[in-house]
Every structure is written in C-alpha cells, then in structure tokens.
Structure 1
Amino acid sequence: MTSSPRSSRTLAVAGGAVLLVALGLVALMLAGRSSGGSATPPAAPAETSADVGFARDMSVHHQQAVEMSFIVRDRTSDVEVRRLAYDIINTQANQRGMMLGWLEMWGRPKSSGAPPMAWMGHTFTPRGDGSLMPGMATDTELDALQKAEARDAEVLYLKLMTAHHRSGAEMARAAADAAGTEEIKNLAAGMVRGQQSEIGLMADMLKERGATA
C-alpha cells in the first residue's frame, strides 16, 4: 500500500472548511446571546487565560492527531482502524475549528511566542523533533508511520494515538477546571470523556493485534 501525498493537502482544505463553519457557528452563538436581553456581550478572555492558552495549544495537539489519522487511513485496509481514524479526523478537526473560531471572535492571535502549556502553570520546552507538547509524536515516529503498512501501521498508530490522547485528556482536565468561559469548560469536559473512551477502545484493539500501549 503506498503513501498518499494528498494527505497534507486534504488536511489543509478540510481544516479551512471546518474553520469557516466554526466561525459561522460562533458568530451565531454570540448573536443569540446579545439578542437574548444582554446589551453587552461577555468580555473576551484575557491573553494569559486558560481559555486562550488551551484553545491555542489543543488546536496544535488536535492538528497532529488528524494528520496521523489521515496517514493510517492510507496505510491499512482494516475496517476497524479506518473507522477510528475517520472518527478522530471528524471530531478533532471540528473541535479545532471551534477553538480557532473562538480565538478569532475573542480577537486573540491563533499562535503565540509563549511556551506551550504556560496557562497550566508549567511549560513544556519543545525538543525540536516535532513533539511540541507531551503526547505528540516526533518527526521520526511520523516518518515511521508513513513507511509502515497493514498491521505494523495499525499497531504504531494505536500506540502513538494512545499517548496522544492521554496527554490531551490531561490538558483538557486542566482546562475544564481553570477556564472562565462555558464554551471551553464544556468542550474540554467533553474531550476528556471522548478521549478516555477511545483510549479504552484502542487498548482492546492493540490486544487483538498482540500488542500493548
């Protein structure tokens, strides 16, 4: 099975479309609030808030999960793994679009020169190998996934995504506790539930393939 050079282009196009939809949804939400009797819309979260930091960092985290899922889609014909990959692509691309949409509506940049995870009270120094935050795959691991096929690709993807989800769920728990907006609190809490469920699913899938996380 050959690697598809279209994955990165597909990701860019899909991400742009999701962002446009998310911006529209966020605009409708804000319009609904202001027409519901409140003359002044809620103040935007501060630049240093957990809301803004989480939206930025988790957008980056999600982007890599979507990228890995596009890769494995082209490296295996296994129905179960491809279904999981499609679920992650759809869910996390949509969530990423929502977070970027909120940053846009809040008037906050989508990227920052501050270290990742500073909003959590600690920072992670990127090692320059593609792993920008805990749980993220390195460039070497992504290259290995691109070259793997069939069962080898499935096992590597499931292991990488399990680590990705564990760190993502930890970040989401912190945001659910520290965020000041209901949007981020609710989204982060939902991420924790969804990713914990998928971690359990992936553990079973690895066991079926004679491997562990």
Structure 2
Amino acid sequence: MTGPNLGAGAAGRAARPVQRRGLLWAVFVTVVILTALAFFAIGRLSGAPQQISDDGPDAGFARDMQVHHAQAVEMALIIRDTSTNEEIRAVAYDIATTQQHQKGQMFAWLQGWGLSQAGKGAPMAWMGAGSGDHGQSHGASAAAAPQSQMEGMATPEQMQALRAASGTEADRLFTDLMIRHHQGGVAMATAAVNLAETARVRDFAAGLVEAQSAEILALQDLRARL
C-alpha cells in the first residue's frame, strides 16, 4: 500500500509545477492582452482632434480629395447611364463604387479628428504646407492650376457637354476627362504622400497614386480603341 501512495504523491508533486506554469502562462497572457487594450485605449484618447491641424496637409487632402472624388463619381454615373459600350460601363461602375467608398473613408477621418468637412482655406493651399526641399518637390504642380480650382477638375461646361453627348462621342469625352481627372488626382495624392503628417493619410495616398496611375494607362488604351 505504501508504494502506490508514494507514487501518487510523487505524481501529484510533479503535476503541481506544470499546473503552476500553466497558471503563470495564463496570467501572463491576460496581462499582455490587458496591456495591449490599455495602450489601444490610450492611443484612441491621445489621438485627440486638436492634434490634426485644421489647415494642415492631412485635413486639406481629406477635404479636397472628397470634392475631387465627387466629380469623378458624377462623371462615371453620367456615362454609365448613357453609354452602350460595356467596357466603358464597367470602368465607370468601378470608378463610381471605389471613389464613393473612399470619400466615405475621408469623411470619417475628419469626423474622427473633430474637424469640419469644409475648410477655411483655398482648395489645394495645403500643397504648399511644406518648407525647403520637402515642400518644393511638388511646388510646380501646385502652381500649375489656380488655387480656386483643383487639378484635373472638369469645368461646368465640360460636365454639361458630357451630359449632352451620346454614343462614341460621349465615350471619348468621358475617357478624355477622366484621364485628366486622374492625373490631377495623382498629383494631389503625391503631394499628400510627401506632406501628410499621419501614416494613415500617407499610406492611403500612396495607394491612390498606384491605383489611379494604373487606371490612367487602362483609360488611355481604351480611348485609343474607341
């Protein structure tokens, strides 16, 4: 009887360190999770609205690119309703859905920063926010268009012409306007990559440069085939 009892006691003593290690590991994991949650909460609190300047590049980009995207969506919906070219219609649908979604993202940024959707400064003024070589990298593009009009935007007359056009004429006008519109968008996004203070805006803008540059090439190929 003594042997089995001693064996059971030894097994119990051997099991206790394993149990203690398991308990310590569980406590460690819990502490790590709680610490991570605490830092997340601190990060949310430290991201106070006043940390993003109302007239800085992040807010300026979010506002101006929303306006820029809004016109692209409008042009895309116009041609999608009038064109009989299935490729044009597919491109238009993709532009409308993608840019409408992106508009929502930028709208949410401004809300999260506690800033108004409309800025006090002139459009594209934020593109001159840098100093020295950092800000001069796109000074030429910022000066290429009046401060009252964002780069690549179609004029009211061009928008009316698109609404009135039909058939191949409408398809060609749409591609011409959208190529120019995307080129302006790439210039604005490139400025944001270089000037934005937050990684969120820089990463978003870099993705926009890549996507719209690819779309420009696709639109140019499509235009050549019309």
**CA distance in structure 2 between the partners assigned to 1:86 and 1:147 by the alignment:** 20
1:59 matches 2:61: no
Alpha carbons of structure 1 residues 74 and 188: separation in structure 2 relative to 1, 3 Å:
same
Q: Give 1 or 2: higher helix fraction.
A: 2
Instruction: Tell me the equivalent position of 1:177.
Output: 194
Secondary structure of the 1:37 match is helix
Instruction: Tell me the equivalent position of 1:115.
Output: 122
Question: Per-residue displacement from partner, 1:142-188 (whole Å, max 9, x unpaired)?
Answer: 11100111111100000000000001001001101111112111110
- Uncovered stretches (5+) of structure 1, i.e. residues with no partner: 1-33, 127-131
1:80 matches 2:87: yes
Q: Among all aligned residue pairs of Structure 1 and Structure 2, give the percentage whose two residues are the same amino acid.
A: 40
**CA distance in structure 2 between the partners assigned to 1:61 and 1:42 by the alignment:** 27
Alpha carbons of structure 1 residues 193 and 200: separation in structure 2 relative to 1, 3 Å:
same
Instruction: Tell me the equivalent position of 1:189.
Output: 206
Alpha carbons of structure 1 residues 101 and 147: separation in structure 2 relative to 1, 3 Å:
same
Runs of 4 or more consecutive aligned structure 1 residues displaced over 6 Å after TM superposition: none
Tell me which structure has the larger Cα radius of gyration.
2
Alignment of 1:29-48 (within 5 A): 35=37, 37-38=39-40, 39=42, 40-44=45-49, 45-48=52-55
**AA at the equivalent of 2:67:** V
Displacement of 1:37: 1.8
Alpha carbons of structure 1 residues 82 and 36: separation in structure 2 relative to 1, 3 Å:
farther
Question: Aligned-residue CA RMSD in angstroms?
Answer: 1.5
The TM-score normalised by the length of structure 1 is 0.77
**AA at the equivalent of 2:170:** A
Choose from 103, 111, 118 the match for 1:104. 111
Instruction: Tell me the equivalent position of 1:15.
Output: none
**CA distance in structure 1 between the partners assigned to 2:122 and 2:47 by the alignment:** 27
Choose from 148, 159, 166 the match for 2:183. 166
**AA at the equivalent of 1:115:** A
**CA distance in structure 2 between the partners assigned to 1:36 and 1:88 by the alignment:** 40
**CA distance in structure 1 between the partners assigned to 2:185 and 2:38 by the alignment:** 35
Instruction: Tell me the equivalent position of 1:50.
Output: 57
**AA at the equivalent of 1:75:** T
Choose from 170, 173, 177 the match for 1:156. 173
**CA distance in structure 1 between the partners assigned to 2:46 and 2:95 by the alignment:** 33
**CA distance in structure 2 between the partners assigned to 1:198 and 1:93 by the alignment:** 16
Instruction: Tell me the equivalent position of 1:141.
Output: 158
